Structure 1
């Protein structure tokens, strides 16, 4: 998502609040060490799990094994919410991304994403690309998904604000 429409929701913001810029919101997505993924099980129950996500080319990306609950849920319903921020009350910025997860299988895209993952956590995330997925020495394939944001919410703390970013 580039140059989204940005609006402040004054109902949930301090009287003197300003909308959070897209640049500040994007910086949180780029720098987050942990992101929480919410998917929906086939019976409608939510499933939430922490993971390492990568912001690249206007989308948030994550991985999962083909047998993991995340992958099972996504096969039935691609709608997800990704959340990151901090557990403080009076400072920081929490960000929520809503959208549909789509599988990434193109080798060139996977190579670029593997390089981006290597920048996370001092290079601890090392992936090779093969057969439309990531490979590593931990186990089987890691499926890669991209979420093009349908909506991004930024919750400023301290001087409270709720900002909405949507694609133009």
Structure 2
């Protein structure tokens, strides 16, 4: 199910004069190709929590996994609002992406199988999971919860020719 391509708006306050909006296809290239993302969640006491993780872009959303007892899983149980960031640490080139949305747990084994296949395709055989009982199970043991984050708003920070683009998405 493809969503309508979001409208891109350049924020002139944070862009060079004459900057144009970054194409959504450029943002998708970053979202699909990035190996590491940074997930920001909120602890139950309101303090922020940030952690690096692997994620895959599938069916118009980012998907990530975590153990059920990990801090991020406990945070998400209390507050599903998240930000995922990726990009480059270079100053003069590249495109950094900030994706905002709500993390929703995926428990359907058919959807989990598609997520597992996407992980193996992107990250290799060390990241092979089997979907069973609403969780992803690693061949070497251990279960993981999977979360889907459909974007509500995405920011693209182009470097070199500096520009900030914002894409907005419909809310479910």
Name structure 1 gaps, 5 residues minimum. Answer: none
Q: Contact conserved, 1:2 with 1:58, CA < 8 A, in 2?
A: no
Please report how far the alpha carbon of residue 121 of structure 1 lies from its aligned counterpart in structure 2 after TM superposition.
2.8
2:75 alignment partner in structure 1? 73
Give the whole-Å Cα distance in 2 for the aligned partners of 1:2 and 1:61: 20
Out of 146, 156, 159, which is 2:158 matched to? 156
Name structure 2 gaps, 5 residues minimum. Answer: none
Name the SS of the counterpart of 2:38 in structure 1: strand
2:112 alignment partner in structure 1? 110
Name the SS of the counterpart of 1:142 in structure 2: strand
2:34 alignment partner in structure 1? 32
Q: Contact conserved, 2:130 with 2:139, CA < 8 A, in 1?
A: no
Q: Contact conserved, 2:39 with 2:51, CA < 8 A, in 1?
A: yes
Give the whole-Å Cα distance in 1 for the aligned partners of 2:44 and 2:72: 11
Q: Contact conserved, 2:100 with 2:151, CA < 8 A, in 1?
A: yes
Q: Residues 12-161 of structure 1: matches in 2 within 5 Å?
A: 12-161=14-163
Please report how far the alpha carbon of residue 122 of structure 1 lies from its aligned counterpart in structure 2 after TM superposition.
3.5
Name the SS of the counterpart of 2:101 in structure 1: strand
Give the whole-Å Cα distance in 1 for the aligned partners of 2:125 and 2:11: 38
Give the whole-Å Cα distance in 1 for the aligned partners of 2:135 and 2:117: 14
Please report how far the alpha carbon of residue 89 of structure 1 lies from its aligned counterpart in structure 2 after TM superposition.
0.2
Q: Provide the TM-score with structure 1 as the length reference.
A: 0.96
Give the whole-Å Cα distance in 2 for the aligned partners of 1:25 and 1:105: 28
Please report how far the alpha carbon of residue 138 of structure 1 lies from its aligned counterpart in structure 2 after TM superposition.
4.3
Higher RCO by CA contacts (8 Å cutoff, separation 6 or greater):
1
Give the whole-Å Cα distance in 2 for the aligned partners of 1:4 and 1:164: 9
Q: Provide the TM-score with structure 2 as the length reference.
A: 0.94
